[in-house]
Amino acid sequence: MGSLVEIRDICKIYNPGENEVRALDHVSLEIDRNEFVAIIGQSGSGKSTLMNMLGCLDVPTSGTYILHDKDVSSLTDDELSDIRNTEIGFIFQGFNLIQNLTALENVELPLIYRGVGKKERDELSVRALEKVGLAHRMKHKPAEMSGGQQQRVAIARAIAQAPPIILADEPTGNLDSNSTKEIMGILRELHADGRTVILITHDNEIAAQADRVIKIKDGRVESDSAQNK
């Protein structure tokens, strides 16, 4: 299968010196193509810092990050931005939708930034919204949709250009139990379609739905285990 993500001995240190904080303390891990992995930890455990590293939103103080056989740990901001645009689809707890745009326009927006032509943009966006069951809500704005529907728009936006990695940061954190089931079902479908899904959560029940759970505590990997399904 081969590693898609390889982190070697990564540290992230804030305030180096006497009052330094080691948000990540010599973390090493590998994630293979088409894995469904949950990274779990409480607030302050380092899981959000690890997510930022995996998503190329931040760079380590030391150590190496190999993504798709490319060392991204020392790239420039522009190079990291290119990687984020092509390799990673982000899903956030707060949806991050633009309120005065329709669902379709929200999904299209990143494609505009990537220079995708209008015809292809429309096709990709419609297909993505159909995939998350929102074909009938394309012209609705976020305020006209439930939280679960807004998160499905956010997922459509993340998958429109078929990035190999889906990075979901507490994607069910603001949702009721029914919407949570819907979102987790969509993530499982994306995994079944061949995507690598990395789910960041503090919730044991959510983490248990992944195939592998990595527990982070005090900036270190406390455990890394496959789930018995």
pLDDT in tens, 15-48: 888 888 899 999 999 999 999 999 999 988 999 8
Q: How confident is the model at residue 3 (pLDDT cuts 50, 70, 90)?
A: confident
Strand order of the β-sheet with 220-226 is 88-92, 165-169, 196-201, 36-40, 212-217, 220-226
Q: What is the pLDDT of residue 2?
A: 64
Phi and psi dihedrals of 106, rounded to 5? -65, -40
- Residue 1: is its pLDDT beyond 60? no
- Residues belonging to the chain: 229
Structure tokens, 154: 């956010």
Q: What is the pLDDT of residue 228?
A: 63
Q: What is the pLDDT of residue 173?
A: 87
Q: What is the pLDDT of residue 120?
A: 95
Residue 135 to residue 228: CA distance in whole angstroms:
35
Torsion of CA 171, 195, 162, 77, to 10 degrees: 70
Q: How confident is the model at residue 205 (pLDDT cuts 50, 70, 90)?
A: very high
Q: What mean pLDDT, rounded, does the chain reach?
A: 91
Reported as a single tens digit per residue, the pLDDT across 57-83 is 988 999 999 998 889 988 888 999 888
